[in-house]
Amino acid sequence: MLFGRMMCVAIAAASLFLVNDGPAAARRSGAQSALSQIERGQWLLKEKLGAERKICFTGPNSFIQLGHGPIPCEQFVVAQDQRASTIRYTCAGHGLGRTTITVETPRLVRIDTQGVLDGSPFDQEYEARKVGTCS
């Protein structure tokens, strides 16, 4: 009886490990995430309502936390494949957000981000295009 219970616990633990190991397994198999395809450099972000701004893309955080800027936040990848990544993040004392980045090409991405910054909600959509190198 004890052996049967131990076996059930071992099987349940193994199945949890396999379910939670999805992203790690994808990384080991050489699958390329959407965010790793984006070219570094100067990008022009156009909001759905027409406002524009330029940013220097030095890595995924440049696009993930557009609402919160460079403050340190805890991030969690919700979904990821070769075309899109969705990341949830929490910034202690400043709020939280959820960003989906869809890569059309390494020089054209769509960004949908929403959350709460210092008690105020935000919801923004951008089309981002690489326009050159950072200065």
22 and 43 fall within a common domain:
no
10 and 65 fall within a common domain:
no
111 residue type, one letter: I
Q: What is the extent of the structural domain holding 8?
A: 1-31
Quick check: 100 and 112 in contact, CB under 8 A? Answer: yes
For the whole model, what pTM was predicted? 0.74
68 and 117 fall within a common domain:
yes
27 and 37 fall within a common domain:
no
Rounded Cα gap, residues 116 and 124, in angstroms: 12
Q: Which residue has the tokens 């899109």?
A: 84
94 and 68 fall within a common domain:
yes
- Bigger pLDDT: 8 or 94? 94
What separation in angstroms does the CA of 56 have from each of 17, 72, 79? Answer: 38, 18, 25
pLDDT tens readout for residues 39-85:
999 999 999 888 999 999 998 889 999 988 888 999 999 999 999 99
